[in-house]
Amino acid sequence: MGTKNLVYGCLLGGIVVLVLQFQSQPLPQDQIVPVTPVAARLEMQPEPEDASRMEHAEHLPLRQSQAGEQHRSIPVGDLRQLLKHSIGDAKFRAPTVSELGTFERLFARTLRSNVIDSMLFSSWKSAGWQLHQCNDDVLVISELPSRRTGRGIYAVRLGFTSDLVLQAPHRFYDQGSGIIARTLFEEHSVSAAAWNTVHRRQVDLAHCEENFINAFSAAIVNCNRQAKILQLHGFDARKNDLDSRASSVKLIVSDGTKFPRRHIVRATANLKTELGAGHVLLFPSEIDVLGGTLNSQARHLRSLGSHGFLHVEMEKAFRQSLIDSPRLRSDFINSFRSMQSIR
């Protein structure tokens, strides 16, 4: 037993010496394998997909840090510049029924949103549109540069904070109308606005039946039956066939019919108070021209059961005054804001 223990002791001692010698010698650099801490290895493991968590993340407001990826997806833009760049040499192409239906559904979905998500951006892009974020609550929907066919450009304020909506379907022909629509949208809590992107000589969007401004209008009233859609036009008193009563007229207001409803009469009365009775005329009781009776949007909205359309003709000098005067713009828009509910 004593001899065996001595042998075992010598062997064990030799092994210990060898191990110590091995540890004292550094390994060549190409044989060093870094060891990842346990916590780091856990962080690198892919988490199981959680449908509810992913859905919540898709709908976070953009101003929150979690939405950084969405910030990169949705181009930030300036409404004035986007309107400027929407002017091009596009040739108008009549839209299909399918295209109009897709636009109407997407616009209604956008109107009902309180936040911006990347899925909405992708849906618009698939339909040939680009979504731009102008600030925390304003989106602009424009045609993709590669697919410009005169479909228009649209702005929407998330949450539908107001009943007021603006349209400028002749912004190149009725000079200043597009600028007025933009400044009113930016300065006041207007929920949405629409502008044409091809000249009236190519297509008159206020007089053709199948167009995206009609789809825009339908989406508006389907989301808010009390929406008031102000369509801005321009006239020149020297060129239009106006009688002597209209020599000093600044505005002609109508709803596109010969029997205006009470809220239209009320809006006209408000404007008369602000601008002077002789400067604002109601169609057809006070003037029998420029009443928009053939207006496509007016007819389309009536077919949907809405009576919120207002056709507003602005005299040339008055348009310039609106562009120049923030106070006048405020008085102008507030005259429509304070009118009675639509009946």
What is the rounded CA–CA span in Å between residue 199 and residue 24?
85
CA angle centred on 24, ends 22 and 25, rounded to 5°: 70
Tokens at 202, concatenated = 């190519």
Average pLDDT over every residue of 193-207: 93
Classify burial at 179, counting beta carbons within 10 Å of its beta carbon; exposed 0-12, middle 13-18, buried 19 or more: middle
pLDDT at 248: 86
Residue 215: closest CA among 86, 106, 79, 93: 106
* Sign (positive or negative) of CA dihedral 230, 234, 237, 243: negative
Q: What are phi and psi of 143, to 5 degrees?
A: -70, 140
What is the rounded CA–CA span in Å between residue 20 and residue 271?
99
pLDDT at 293: 94
Do residues 264 and 255 touch, judged by C-beta distance below 8 A? yes
Residue with tokens 């290895």: 41
For residue 129, the surrounding DSSP H or E stretch is strand 129-133
> In the chain, what are the domains?
150-337 (3.40.630.40)
Considering the chain, what percentage of its residues have pLDDT values greater than 90?
A: 60
pLDDT band at 63, cuts 50/70/90?
A: very low
Residue 129: closest CA among 101, 153, 109: 153
Distance of CA 284 to the CA centre of its chain: 35
Which letter does DSSP use for residue 181 in this model? Answer: H
What digits encode the pLDDT tens for the residues 265-300? 999 999 999 999 989 999 999 999 999 999 999 999
pLDDT band at 30, cuts 50/70/90?
A: very low
Report the predicted TM-score, pTM, of the whole model to 2 decimal places.
0.76
Average pLDDT over every residue of 11-36: 45
Tokens at 89, concatenated = 């040499």
pLDDT mean across residues, the chain: 80
Do residues 149 and 119 touch, judged by C-beta distance below 8 A? no
Count of CA atoms in the C-beta half-sphere (13 A) of 282: 17
CB atoms within 10 A of CB 171: 26
End-to-end CA distance of the chain: 114
What is the rounded CA–CA span in Å between residue 217 and residue 207?
14
Q: What are phi and psi of 172, to 5 degrees?
A: -85, -35
E strand spans, 158-247:
164-168, 192-195, 228-235
What is the rounded CA–CA span in Å between residue 198 and residue 55?
39
What is the rounded CA–CA span in Å between residue 248 and residue 126?
50
What digits encode the pLDDT tens for the residues 178-196? 999 999 999 998 999 999 9
What is the rounded CA–CA span in Å between residue 110 and residue 104?
10
Residue 116: closest CA among 153, 151, 184, 68: 68
What is the rounded CA–CA span in Å between residue 313 and residue 281?
10
